[in-house]
Structure 1
Amino acid sequence: MKTRITEMLGIEYPIIQGGMAWVAEHNLAAAVSEAGGFGVIGGANAPGEVVRDEIRKARELTKKPFGINVMLLSPHADDVAKVVVEEGIKVVITGAGNPEKYMEMWKSAGIKVIPVVASVAQARRMEKYGADAVVAEGMESGGHIGEETTMTLVPQVVDAVSIPVIAAGGIGDGRGIAAAFMLGAEAVQMGTRFVVADECTVHENYKQRIIKAKDIDSTVTGRSHGHPVRGLRNQMTREYIKLEQEGKSFEELEYLTLGKLREAVQDGDVMNGTVMAGQIAGMISKKQSCKEMIEEMMAEASSLMHWN
C-alpha cells in the first residue's frame, strides 16, 4: 500500500496513531510503528526533558520511524521544539496552534512538519509556510475539535492544497480507512481505537469506558467559550455543561477540568475525570494488540478498495 504519506514517513501501512495527551507514550508509539503504522508520542504539556526521555525509551523498543506530536499551546512548546531537533526526530505533527515560528528550525534540520488543521484556510496557510502534509481532522474526533465533519472537511482540504492530506476524526476500522481514501486522503490518523490497544498503558477503567460506550455517549464541553472538547459523558461533563448553561466564566470552567484528563488516564477515575474519546468509541468493542488492529483494518480496507 503506497501513497505519498507512506513514502514520506517510511511506513508499510497508511495508518498514523494520534498523539493523545497522557495516552500516546513510548510503549504505544513503538508498538504501532512495529506493526507497520506510524507511532506518535504526544508531547502534551510535558517539559522537553520528559519528551526526550520518551523518545529514547521508544528507540529501545523499535528501530522503525515514529514521530512527536508537539502541542503548541503547551508552556514547554519552545523546549520540545528544540528537543525534537536534538534527538534527530524526522517527523513532527503539530496540534493546538500555529507552528510557523518553528518551521525554519525544523526544516533546516530535515524534519517533516505535519500540522493538524480544522479548516481549508488553515490548510492553505500551513502549505504556504512549508508544511509537508496536513491532518484534516473532523469534529468527530476526541479532544479539542473544530466545527467541520470529516466527511465535509477532507475533500475540501484535498481540493485546496497540493500536499498530501491525512484524514482524522471518526475513523476506527477498515471501512473508515476506505472512506477516507475515497474522499482523497492518502493516510488516516486515529486515536480512540488505539486507546484500547494491549500496549496502551492507560488505566483499565478508561479502556472499558470506551469499549462499553454507545453511539450517543460522547459529548462536547467548552463550546460557549470557543474551546470545544469532545469526551465521553460522565459526572464531570454533566457538571461542566450545567455551569456553561449558567454562564460561568472560562476561568471557572477551566478550573473544573484542571488535571482531570490525567485523573482518568492514570488513576482510572472515569466518573469525575476527562475521558477524551471520539464518536467512534461506540464502535469499539474489544481490546487487541496494535498489530492485530492494524492487520484487521488493512485487510478490511483492502477488500473494500480492491487493493492487492
Structure 2
Amino acid sequence: MKTRISELLNIKYPIIQGGMAWVAEHHLAAGVSNGGGLGIIAAGSAPVEVVREEIRKAKTLTDKPFGVNIMLLSPYASEIADLVVEEKVSVVTTGAGNPEKYIPMWKEAGIKVIPVVASVALAKRMEKHGADAVVAEGCEAGGHIGELTTMALIPQIVDAINIPVIAAGGIGDGRGLAAVFMLGAEAGQIGTRFVVSHESIVHPNYKKRLIDSRDIDSTVTGRSTGHPVRSIRNQMTRQYTRLEQEGKSFEELELLTLGSLRKAVVEGDINNGSVMAGQIAGLVSKEQSCKEIISEIIEEAEKLLKID
C-alpha cells in the first residue's frame, strides 16, 4: 500500500499515530513505528528536557522513523522547535497554531513538516509556506477539534492543494482507512484505537472505559469558549456542560479542567478526569499490540480497495 505519504516518510504503511498529549510517549511511538506506521511523540506542554528524554528513549526502542508533535500554544514551543533539529527528528507535526515561522529552519534540517489543519484556508497557507503534507482533521476526532466532519473536509482540502493529505478523525478500522482513501487522502492518522494498544501507557481504567464505550458515549465541551474538546461523557463533562449553560467565565471553566487529562491518563480517574477519545471509541473492542492493530487495518483496507 504505497502512497506519496509512505514514500515521503519512509514507512511501510500509510498510517500515522495521533499526537495525543500524555498518551503519545516513547513506548507508543516506537510500537507504531516498529509496526510499520509512523509513531509520534506528543510534546504537549512538557518542558524541553522531558521531550528530549522521550526522543532519546524512542531511539533505543526503534530504528524506524518517528516524529514529534509540537503543540504551538505550549510555553516551550520555540525551544522544542529547536530541539527537534538538535535531535535529528525525522518528522514534525504541529497543532494549536500556525508553525510557519519555524518551517524554514525545519526544512533546512531535512525534517518533514506536517501541520494539522481543520480548514481549506489553513491547508493552502501551509502549502504556500513549504509544508510537505497536512493532516486534515475532522470533528469526529478526540481532543481539540474543528467544526467540519472528515467526510466533508478531506475532499475539499484534497481539491485545494497539491501536497498529500493525511485524513484524521473517525478512522478506527480498515473500512475507515479505505473510505478516506476514496476521498483523496493518502494516509490515515489514528489516535483512539492506539490508546488501547499494549504499548500505550494509559491507566487500565482509561483503556477499559474506551473498550466499554458505545456509539453515543462521546461528547463535546467548550464550544462556548471557542475551544471545543471531544471526550467520553462522565461526571466532569456533565459539570462542565452545566457551568457552560450557566454562562460561567472561560477562567472558571478552565479551572475545572486543569490537570484533568493527566488525572485520567495517569491516575485512572475516569469520572473526574478528561477521557479524550474520538467518536470511533464504540468500534474499539479489545487491547492489541500496535503491530496487530496496523496489520488488521491494512489487511481490511486492502481487501476493500482490491489491492493485491
TM range (shorter): over 0.9
SS at match of 1:16: strand
Q: Which runs of 4+ in 1 moved over 3 A?
A: none
User: Match of 2:292?
Assistant: 292
- The C-alpha deviation readout for 1:202-254, integer Å capped at 9, x for no partner, is 00000001000100000000000110000000000000000000000111100
- The C-alpha deviation readout for 1:74-101, integer Å capped at 9, x for no partner, is 1110111111000001210001100011
Matches within 5 A, 1:1-150: 1-150=1-150
Q: CA deviation at 1:107?
A: 1.2
User: Match of 1:260?
Assistant: 260
C-alpha distance in structure 2 between counterparts of 1:12 and 1:109, whole Å? 23
C-alpha distance in structure 2 between counterparts of 1:307 and 1:94, whole Å? 32
User: Match of 2:278?
Assistant: 278
C-alpha distance in structure 1 between counterparts of 2:19 and 2:225, whole Å? 24
SS at match of 1:199: coil
Matches within 5 A, 1:175-194: 175-194=175-194
SS at match of 1:101: coil
Structure 1 gap segments, 5+ residues each: none
User: Match of 1:226?
Assistant: 226
Letter paired with 1:57: K
C-alpha distance in structure 1 between counterparts of 2:129 and 2:144, whole Å? 23
Greater Cα shift, 178-187 or 96-105? 96-105
C-alpha distance in structure 2 between counterparts of 1:182 and 1:227, whole Å? 30
Letter paired with 2:148: E
Structure 2 gap segments, 5+ residues each: none
C-alpha distance in structure 2 between counterparts of 1:200 and 1:233, whole Å? 21
C-alpha distance in structure 2 between counterparts of 1:112 and 1:63, whole Å? 17
C-alpha distance in structure 2 between counterparts of 1:160 and 1:225, whole Å? 29
- The C-alpha deviation readout for 1:49-89, integer Å capped at 9, x for no partner, is 11110000000000000000000011110111111000001
Letter paired with 1:104: P
Q: TM-score, normalised by structure 2?
A: 0.99
Letter paired with 1:136: A
Q: TM-score, normalised by structure 1?
A: 0.99
Matches within 5 A, 1:227-242: 227-242=227-242
Letter paired with 2:275: V
C-alpha distance in structure 2 between counterparts of 1:231 and 1:174, whole Å? 23
C-alpha distance in structure 1 between counterparts of 2:79 and 2:205, whole Å? 33
SS at match of 2:201: coil
C-alpha distance in structure 2 between counterparts of 1:112 and 1:298, whole Å? 24
Q: CA deviation at 1:154?
A: 0.3
- CA RMSD, Structure 1 to Structure 2 (Å): 0.5
SS at match of 2:93: strand
Q: CA deviation at 1:198?
A: 0.5
SS at match of 1:93: strand
Q: CA deviation at 1:108?
A: 1.1
Letter paired with 1:161: I
C-alpha distance in structure 2 between counterparts of 1:136 and 1:102, whole Å? 20
Q: CA deviation at 1:306?
A: 0.6
C-alpha distance in structure 2 between counterparts of 1:96 and 1:71, whole Å? 6
C-alpha distance in structure 2 between counterparts of 1:250 and 1:104, whole Å? 35
C-alpha distance in structure 1 between counterparts of 2:144 and 2:89, whole Å? 25
C-alpha distance in structure 1 between counterparts of 2:52 and 2:240, whole Å? 35
Corresponding pairs, count: 308
C-alpha distance in structure 2 between counterparts of 1:276 and 1:141, whole Å? 9
